[in-house]
Each structure stands twice: as C-alpha cells, then as structure tokens.
Amino acid sequence: MAVRKQEVTGGTHTAPKMADLADRHELYEESVQCVEEECEFITHTFQKIRGRVPASLREDFCGTASACCEWVRQSPGHTAIGVDYDSEVLAWGRKNRIERLSEEQQSRIQLIESDVLDVQAKAVDAVGAFNFSYFIFQRREVMLQYFRSVHEALVTDGIFFLDAFGGYEAFEEMKEKTKYDNFTYIWEQASYAPVTGEMTCYIHFKFPDGSKMKRAFEYTWRLWTLPELLEMLTEVGFRNPTVYWEGTDEDGEGDGVFTPDGKGEADAGWIAYLVAEK
Ligand SMILES: C[S@@+](CC[C@H](N)C(=O)[O-])C[C@H]1O[C@@H](n2cnc3c(N)ncnc32)[C@H](O)[C@@H]1O
C-alpha cells in the first residue's frame, strides 16, 4: 500500500522518538479503515438484494488483508481472496493479521500478489474495492477494463462493492488533522489538476513528542465523480449500479447508515458506497 518508505523527522540522536517506534500500517488501519463496517455492509446489502448470505469475497487492493481476516471470522463457510501487487504490504498482513487467525481460518484465505487487472482467481459472490484504491486507474479505458474483469470474476448473482469520496472540499488543496489517542492523522490533498482530474494525496502522522512520520502513504489518483462511475459500471454490463448515501444523526453528522439514493446532497465532503449487480 505504501509507495514511500517511512520518512521520520524530529528524532534525536539518543532515545527513539514515537515516530521511530510506530508502525505505519497499524496507524493506517486505526485511522482509515473499518473492515467490520465494510463486511457488515457487504453482507447486509447482498442479503437484501439476493435473499442469501454471501460466502466468498475477493478483496481487491487488499493491502494488509484485514477485510479478508474479518470476512473469514464470520463462519466456517466464509472464504476470502486478497489481491495486491505490493509484496511488502502482503508480507506485513500475512505476519501481523493472517497468522493471528486460527489455522482453520487461515486455510480459508488466499493472498494473491498481482495487479488486479491481471488476476486469475476463482469466481466469488462479492468483490470489494475500498478506500478509493481503484481511483489509481486514471484513464477511462483502464477503469472499464478493471470493471469488466470484476464483472467476469463474479458468480452469476454476484455483486461488486466500491466506495467513492467527493464534495466541493475534495477538489481543494488542503490539510485536515484528526486527533487519535496516541497520534494525529493528517490527510493532505497536495495537488489537484482540474484539466486531468489528477490529485496527489499524502497521509502523515504526528506524535505527542513532536516527532512526525511524513508522507507515510502517497496516492496519485483521478478524482472520479459518481455519474462517471455509474456510467462506466453500466457500460460493462453491471445491472442497476446504485449509490448508497450516508444518513445523518440529530447533529447533522454521518450516522454510518447507507441507503440507496438517486440524488445525494451537495455536502462539503462525503463518502458513499457503490453497489453494482452482475
Ligand atoms: C489505499 S490502499 C488500500 C488498502 C485497503 N484495502 C483499504 O481499504 O484501506 C491501496 C492498495 O492498493 C494496492 N494497489 C494499487 N494499485 C494496484 C493494482 N493495480 N493492483 C493491485 N494492487 C494495487 C497498493 O499496493 C495498496 O496496498
């Protein structure tokens, strides 16, 4: 997942600083990912649409394969395939996530080191591509190639699950800080080119002792819009591609409940799921 090595600043010559001791994959998972919610959304939505529980998942751009681990924990009938082309992150996931499962659970996960565009794997009930990883495909014909390959990788009643982000702040060059117990997560939208749609983003981490892990992760993406994505999903043969929009609580904050929505709202920043049926 990382395209950069850990770049640590603020350390002294003597005692290691918090940034030296921290693990960027652990920090990433704590601040960015919620695999329980992803798996719950896939299961609940699939069941509602198809009337059965999905058993097999392919997690594309799997990184540390945490969603695969969460998936196989659900029942002895659940299987998962994780696909990522970065051997470093796969090795980290194997050692720090998969090996913590029981042997029986481990036997139901297959990790494949491959570009998702080329991967050869068994057909599955659901394919998930989360945290916007597929925005790496900047050209329309490459995105179509990816969507087409996912369509082929699904069983006859399979479903493709993705997420997307947007809102008017998504087009800004900005930094946003979020405080966690032992670190601050910094999301930087470093550049955005309106003509191509290309954006470069970084994740940095800052620690209470003043040390920093700069550019722990870097992403060069095209900021796709929902209508473009829905049109491409339709074009490759998905039926009824639908955006699931997040509801709000009494304070107007996102409530984590996503429901089908044909319009959405002109929020400053939103995250939504896309659900596309084979
Ligand atoms: C943003 S991280 C996503 C990690 C995790 N799945 C999540 O939801 O947070 C993107 C991951 O996609 C992988 N990746 C990027 N392009 C890829 C491709 N074409 N094929 C396979 N993996 C790719 C990177 O190595 C990285 O681990």
CA distance 129 to 37: 14
Among all chains, which residue has been given the structure tokens 């591609």? Answer: 241
State the closest ligand 1 atom to the C-alpha of 116, by its place in the atom list counted from 1: 20
- In 10 A of CB 55, how many CB atoms? 18
Question: Terminus-to-terminus CA distance in the chain, angstroms?
Answer: 28
Residue-wise pLDDT for 235-263, tens only, equals 999 999 999 999 999 988 889 999 999 99
Contact 247, 237 (CB under 8 A): no
How many CB atoms are located within 10 Å of the residue 125 CB?
A: 22
64 lines ligand 1 (CB under 6 A): no
> Measured over all CA atoms, what is the biggest interatomic distance in the chain, rounded to whole angstroms?
61
Whether pLDDT at 5 is above 80: no
Q: Three-state SS string across 70-132, please?
A: HHHCCCCCCEEEEEECCHHHHHHHHHHCHHHCCHHHHCCEEEEECCCCCCCCCCEEEEEECCC
Give the global pTM. Answer: 0.94
Q: CA–CA separation, 95 vs 104, rounded Å?
A: 16
- Pocket probe mutation, ligand 1, options 30, 84, 162, max atoms within 8 Å of Cβ: 84
State yes or no: pLDDT of 68 exceeds 80: yes
Q: From the alpha carbon of 137, which atom of ligand 1 is closest?
A: 19
State how far the Cα of 230 lies from the Cα of 116, in Å rounded to an integer: 20
Q: Ligand 1 mean position to 131 CA, how many Å?
A: 9
Q: How far is the CA of 61 from the centre of ligand 1 (A)?
A: 3
79 touches ligand 1 (CB under 6 Å) = no
Position 253 scores a pLDDT of 86
Task: Decide if pLDDT at 1 tops 50.
Answer: no
Q: How far is the CA of 162 from the centre of ligand 1 (A)?
A: 13
What is the atom index within ligand 1 of the atom nearest the CA of 63? Answer: 27
Give the CA radius of gyration of the chain.
Answer: 19
Q: Is 85 near ligand 1, meaning CB less than 6 Å away?
A: yes
